[in-house]
Structure 1
């Protein structure tokens, strides 16, 4: 009888572990889906670079204007962001509309309690800080494209200059961001 109880216990443990893994994956998928459905839409300016990932294929590495923040926008005013902040610490950046785009207005190391109308809060991770500039990433710095398309985006055939690359991002209530659409010279990329 003891052996049988052990088998049931082992089956139960396996079932619980398998169910937990499935629920975890479902939560990740649902959170991205919910951000796309209910998140605030912002348009960000980028500067592309074209590397290649051997496992995933071509991608465009994106750098946004909001990746480089002036140290002076951190609140409370005069906060010394260049000292004592560890890499990967959460940073909350308030985006405000300016023309067609959203730009960084203020930044916090703690989530602010309120925003002004029209502002959107995006959550990032602190990379490093210098005296006047702080580098932050948001998890939207890489966009995968079909093979061979990365170079077209970076530098199209018969052109010497870079194309204007804009990214429409959905930002959820917690500040997490998801790339929604990508525009090259104002036209939506069909594979985005």
Structure 2
């Protein structure tokens, strides 16, 4: 290979290394700008990872749906159709291995199926909320305390959804973004 060929290969690799992350960023920004916002009720825990930093893992109340289908496989991709309930929070309507033709849906992973009550339990892909390292522990404590509060539905995650793609925008306690809540 000549120097000219090496230079061409180098330029192609460099462009690919910039294009792939840029496409991911622009895709998420598109969901945030033109997607529809849904409120997901949360239940948190606060882990730490040396590579990811401090973040809050969010468990969601909406983690199952009634289904007559059987034969679900653990970690199988599933499309969960959603809608807002009467209180403004998201609820699961149905689950399918096929992309729904209409309505809003999120991609999820099957955890297990309970035959007794015909429910399919699943995991949502937007379960990590990253924060400044100095605020993560205080945020986890504030979120846990808010969960114990007698006010119903006072902690939730705001998630934007567009064509099945979901982006976690923020976590709220009593309608206040969690980072702001921790500062108060």
Q: Give the TM bin, normalised by the shorter chain.
A: 0.7 to 0.9
> Any residues of structure 2 matched to 1:127-142 within 5 Å, and which?
127-131=111-115, 132-142=118-128
1:97 is aligned to 2:84: yes
2:98 corresponds to which residue? 110
Paired with 1:62 and 1:104, the residues of 2 have a C-alpha distance of 17
2:105 corresponds to which residue? 121
| Aligned residue among 124, 130, 134 for 1:144 | 130
Unaligned runs of 5+ in 1: none
Paired with 2:8 and 2:54, the residues of 1 have a C-alpha distance of 43
Q: 1:58 to 1:86 in 2, by over 3 A?
A: closer
Q: 1:86 to 1:61 in 2, by over 3 A?
A: closer
Q: Look at both structures and tell me which one has the larger radius of gyration over its CA atoms.
A: 1
| Aligned residue among 158, 161, 167 for 1:168 | 158
Paired with 1:17 and 1:161, the residues of 2 have a C-alpha distance of 48
Contact 1:169–1:180 (8 Å) recurs in 2: yes
Paired with 2:161 and 2:122, the residues of 1 have a C-alpha distance of 16
Contact 1:92–1:124 (8 Å) recurs in 2: yes
TM-score of the superposed pair, with normalisation by structure 1: 0.78
Deviation at 1:13, TM superposition (A): 1.5
**Number of residue equivalences:** 172
